Amino acid sequence: MTSTARTVRTKRGIGGAALAALLATAGTGTAYAYWSATGSGAGSATAGTMQTVTVDALVAGDTPKTTLIPGGSADVVLRLTNPNPYDIQVYSVASNGPAAADANHPGCTTTGVSFTGTTAPLSPATYVAANSSALITLPGAAAMDTTSLAACQGATFSLPVIVEARK
């Protein structure tokens, strides 16, 4: 009797193994069909365009902490306006032409004023928030040499600059 019971257990063990193998094979077939599915179609995307960041030098209420004198340097204050729906990084600021005195100083034909641009990237990193304006001060970026005429005394100078901004 003992041997008959062993035989029955052995047959059940073989049946269970066969069922397990069958289920494993069925599962594999299902997974294979799922992962080998194919399809086709078309899609498209459009890259957005960054809007122009505007730069204004001194506007009402903005005042530099230093002023130019012959043989010296002074801070340059820029107001940057970011019309984009995301923050931008001010990457660099470079000169874009000669300095010009304001209209109230027509005799200031030789200004002696120059602008020293920044290294790229601007350090520390400077950002302008989305849809806003920010003042950026560039310490000692304007200089006046001794060739400046006396008629330039008290003038405000326009310094054309190019600002590189990145998303």
Residues 79 and 19 in one domain: no
C-alpha–C-alpha distance, residues 25 and 31, integer Å: 10
154 and 108 in a common domain? yes
Residues 67 and 123 in one domain: yes
Helix H or strand E encompassing 136? strand 132-144
pLDDT tens profile 77-126: 889 999 999 999 999 999 999 999 999 999 999 999 999 999 888 888 99
Q: Does residue 44 lie in a domain region?
A: no
Q: Does the pLDDT value for residue 129 go beyond 90?
A: yes
Same domain, 134 and 71: yes
Q: Which pLDDT score, from 0 to 100, does residue 122 have?
A: 87
Contacts of 133 (CB under 8 A, 6+ apart): 79, 80, 81, 82
Residue 36 has pLDDT above 70, yes or no: no
- Helix, strand, coil % (nearest 5) of the chain? 20, 30, 45
Are residues 31 and 65 located together in one domain of the fold?
A: no
CA end-to-end span of the chain, whole Å?
85
Write out pLDDT tens, residues 7-22. 444 444 445 554 444 4
19 and 73, same domain (yes or no): no
**Higher pLDDT residue, 87 or 36?**
87
Same domain, 107 and 136: yes
Query: Does one domain contain both 61 and 33?
Result: no
- Report the sign of the C-alpha dihedral through residues 97, 99, 102, 108, in that order: negative
| 45 is a domain residue | no
Per-residue model confidence (pLDDT) at position 42: 60
Work out how many domains the chain is built from and give that number: 2
Q: 144 and 69 share a domain? A: yes
**Structure confidence at residue 28 (pLDDT):** 47
Asked if residue 49 belongs to a domain, the reply is: no
Q: Could you tell me if 59 and 87 lie in one domain?
A: yes
User: 66: Cβ–Cβ under 8 A, 6 or more apart, which residues?
Assistant: 73, 74, 75, 140
At 146 the pLDDT is 94
Are 34 and 76 in the same domain? no
User: What would the pLDDT profile of 133-158 be if each residue is shown by its tens digit?
Assistant: 999 988 889 999 999 999 999 998 88
Q: Rounded to the nearest 5°, which phi and psi values hold at 132? A: -150, 180
Task: Answer yes or no: are the C-beta atoms of 95 and 113 closer than 8 Å.
Answer: no
Identify whether 48 is part of a domain: no
Residue 63 pLDDT > 50, yes or no? yes
* 8 Å CB contact between 156 and 102: yes
Neighbours of 155 (CB within 10 A): 22
One-letter amino acid identity for 2?
A: T
Mean pLDDT of 39-56: 68
> 55 versus 161: which is more confidently predicted?
161
Residue 64 lies in a domain: yes
136 forms beta bridges with 78
Q: Which domain holds residue 32?
A: 1-38
The predicted model gives 33-42 an average pLDDT of: 50
* CATH number for the domain that contains residue 113: 2.60.40
What's the angle, vertex CA 128, arms to CA 122 and CA 89, rounded to 5? 40
